Amino acid sequence: MKYFKIFLKSHKGKLFLSVLLLLCSVVGTLLIPTLIANVVDQGILQGDMKVITRVGLQMLLVALAGSAISVFSSWVTSDLGALFGREMRSKLFKKIQELSVHQFDQLGVSSLLTRSTSDITNLQQTLGMMLQIVAPAPLILVASMIMTFMISPMIALIQFASIVLMMLASVVLLKKSNALSRSIQRRLDLINKVVRESITGVRVIRAFGNEAYEEHRSGKAYESYAENMIHLNRLFAVATPMIWLAMGAVMLVILGLGGAFSLKGTMAVGQITAVIEYTTMTMGYLISAASAFTTLPKTLACLGRLQEVLDMEPAIKDNDIAPGKKLKQQEDAIVAFNHVSFSYPGAEEPVIHDLSFKIMPGQTTAVIGSTGSGKSTIADLLLRIHDIQQGSITLGGTDIRSLSQQSLRDRIGCVPQKAFLFSGTIADNLRMGNEQAADRDLWTALRIAQAENFVKGLPKGLNSPVAQGGTNFSGGQRQRLSIARALVKKADVFLFDDSFSALDVKTDAALRTALRQNVKTSAKLVIAQRISSILDADQILVLDKGCLVGIGTHDILLKNCSVYRAIAESQMNEREA
């Protein structure tokens, strides 16, 4: 609940206005039964038309004022709800960006989507109900009982007993529904996961003719969710009529007592009417509050899921160096791995073991090895996606763990293994590397990345639309645009993680030549599967099961490294075949 408290504390003005409007609304609501009693006892029963007219006008004014206050109150509470949703989504998005990849995988994409959308929407709705329905209930309850007590202490006692019983029943109902609500949210996560996989993997599903299996899998997820919803709805389907039945019984008792008191002359007809109004009002607000409380288990489940993320400590934390702070220059290596070892959480064996190498400014260093040898892990460690367990990695002579993540990544231009483009335009995607880049800088990067011609061939050029994920471009085009996006950054180190795999041999060669001619001062780390992509590298690192088994140029490694020679021979045989 602390996030509700923090939010309400930061919006004290609107909260105060909401409470003030609430009090005015309660006062207006409580005046109506008293006015009804006056019009009955002093007007109708006495046949006094003046009283009827006067009190009737008073009732009309109170009703109009109450309606206006209710409308304004609804606007204020809706505004508070919208602000709460916006701030919670901002907090959640910021926290997600701080989490490590391992923590992100633990939570799951589908679960994070559910928490960011339906969970926060549920909390928004709950906040509105609490301010509009639940908050007035205690005020109405206490004031109505006081007014009833002034008319008949015995009826007030009956009112009190019925309220206590109803509140106990609500507590029992909440306990029973809490577990079901948590289960429903977990199954909603599962549905989002299944639907997301079915949509994003639709080509693979169709290619394997797996539609029937996916339909069965999604059907099971929907069925599990429906079963829990049915159980919860059945619980409330029984509880709601029981509450109304109890309310009817209380009203019957009060009418009987009121009639008996009226016959004895101890209670006027108008007073009976007022007591009935107060009782109806109290029960009505209690039922509304109870209905709102039926959503409380789901709300608490949603709040708990959000708190789980918001209270999570990032596995990789920034240090005290401010983002963008200049690092000391070093004449030696721009990047150095010093006896680095790293294991993924839960893994028995290290994926990188005692790895040491240096990259000089302007130098092209390539990394090659079999699948699972740890090539892409080197890229993740340099970007500090994961923290190493042993050794050190330096950038410009400074241990990367002493840098903020922002200052580290500001100096590295990364082209990830999977080329991903964001919805928008080509220019929008390229300027992710440098928001201030001019169009001529974008065209320069596109020319080096061998993407200039196909972008110029598009009707809108740089302003051509990009679909989510870049699905309106081929794999090779997405890869070249990703390379251009990194080059716009003008970084100290460029990291290419198997970024030439979708390019044909001719384009690959042209791109490497352009990089060599135009990117002379920045270091380049190229992770590759194809030896043809790294022939002209200044040094090649050969990995095998996380260990460095060879380092040198292509010609030296062919002579001295059996692992490299085996890779070269296998690729040569594939081309001949």
In this predicted model, what pLDDT tens digit does every residue of 245-297 receive, in sequence order? Answer: 877 788 788 888 888 887 777 777 777 788 888 887 777 777 777 667 667 77
**What gap in Å lies between CA 290 and CA 292, rounded to an integer?**
5
pLDDT at 127: 82
pLDDT at 107: 84
pLDDT digits (tens, 9 = 90+) for 143-179: 888 888 888 888 888 888 887 887 787 777 777 777 7
Check pLDDT > 80 for residue 41. no
Average pLDDT over residues 116-129: 84
Taking the CA atoms of 298, 304, 305 and 310 in sequence, report the sign of the dihedral they define. positive
Q: Report residue 522's pLDDT band, with 50, 70 and 90 as the boundaries.
A: very high
**What gap in Å lies between CA 269 and CA 42, rounded to an integer?**
10
Cβ-contact 152, 275 below 8 angstroms: yes
Taking the CA atoms of 243, 249, 255 and 260 in sequence, report the sign of the dihedral they define. negative
Locate 469 and state its tokens. Answer: 């994920």
| Cβ neighbours for 179, distance < 8 A, ≥ 6 positions apart | 297
Query: From the CB of residue 411, how many other CB atoms can be counted at a distance below 10 Å?
Result: 18
**What gap in Å lies between CA 151 and CA 93, rounded to an integer?**
56
**Full set of structural domains in the chain with CATH:** 2-310 (1.20.1560.10), 335-576 (3.40.50.300)
Check pLDDT > 50 for residue 229. yes
Locate 547 and state its tokens. Answer: 């260990």
Check pLDDT > 50 for residue 319. yes
Predicted TM-score (pTM) above 0.85: no
**What gap in Å lies between CA 514 and CA 521, rounded to an integer?**
14
**What gap in Å lies between CA 483 and CA 512, rounded to an integer?**
11
Q: Cα–chain-centroid distance for residue 539?
A: 43
* 525 residue type, one letter: L
**What gap in Å lies between CA 310 and CA 304, rounded to an integer?**
10
pLDDT at 324: 42
* Count of all residues that appear for the chain in the document: 577
Q: Report residue 444's pLDDT band, with 50, 70 and 90 as the boundaries.
A: very high
**What gap in Å lies between CA 45 and CA 283, rounded to an integer?**
28
Locate 298 and state its tokens. Answer: 């789901």
Cross-strand bridge partners of residue 542: 368, 550
pLDDT at 346: 78
Q: Which of 130-139, 413-422, 519-528 has the lowest mean pLDDT?
A: 130-139
Q: Report residue 323's pLDDT band, with 50, 70 and 90 as the boundaries.
A: very low
Q: Report residue 222's pLDDT band, with 50, 70 and 90 as the boundaries.
A: confident
**What gap in Å lies between CA 143 and CA 164, rounded to an integer?**
16
Strand ordering across the sheet containing 335-342: 352-359, 335-342, 390-395, 398-399
Q: Report residue 576's pLDDT band, with 50, 70 and 90 as the boundaries.
A: low
pLDDT digits (tens, 9 = 90+) for 458-514: 999 999 999 888 888 988 899 999 999 999 988 999 999 988 888 888 888 899 899
Locate 232 and state its tokens. Answer: 């919860």
Cβ-contact 377, 351 below 8 angstroms: yes
Higher pLDDT, 122 or 238: 122
Check pLDDT > 60 for residue 20. yes
Check pLDDT > 70 for residue 436. yes
Residue 254: closest CA among 182, 157, 371: 157
Q: Report residue 189's pLDDT band, with 50, 70 and 90 as the boundaries.
A: confident
pLDDT at 352: 93
Locate 568 and state its tokens. Answer: 């070269």
**What gap in Å lies between CA 160 and CA 286, rounded to an integer?**
12
Q: Report residue 577's pLDDT band, with 50, 70 and 90 as the boundaries.
A: very low
pLDDT at 359: 93
Locate 135 and state its tokens. Answer: 């908050």
| Cβ neighbours for 409, distance < 8 A, ≥ 6 positions apart | 383, 384
DSSP sequence for 2-52: HHHHHHHHHTHHHHHHHHHHHHHHHHHHHHHHHHHHHIIIIIITTT-HHHH
* 350 residue type, one letter: P
**What gap in Å lies between CA 488 and CA 449, rounded to an integer?**
10
Residue 412: closest CA among 387, 380, 441: 380
Check pLDDT > 70 for residue 412. yes
Cβ-contact 525, 493 below 8 angstroms: yes
Q: Report residue 322's pLDDT band, with 50, 70 and 90 as the boundaries.
A: very low
Percent of the chain scored above 70 by pLDDT?
Answer: 95
Residue 340: closest CA among 380, 378, 390, 396: 390
Locate 459 and state its tokens. Answer: 């009707």
Locate 506 and state its tokens. Answer: 């001719």
Check pLDDT > 80 for residue 180. no
Check pLDDT > 80 for residue 328. no
Whose structure tokens read 């989490």? 99
**What gap in Å lies between CA 330 and CA 318, rounded to an integer?**
23
What mean pLDDT, rounded, does the chain reach? 84
Cβ-contact 79, 15 below 8 angstroms: no
pLDDT digits (tens, 9 = 90+) for 66-87: 888 888 888 888 888 888 888 8
* 496 residue type, one letter: F
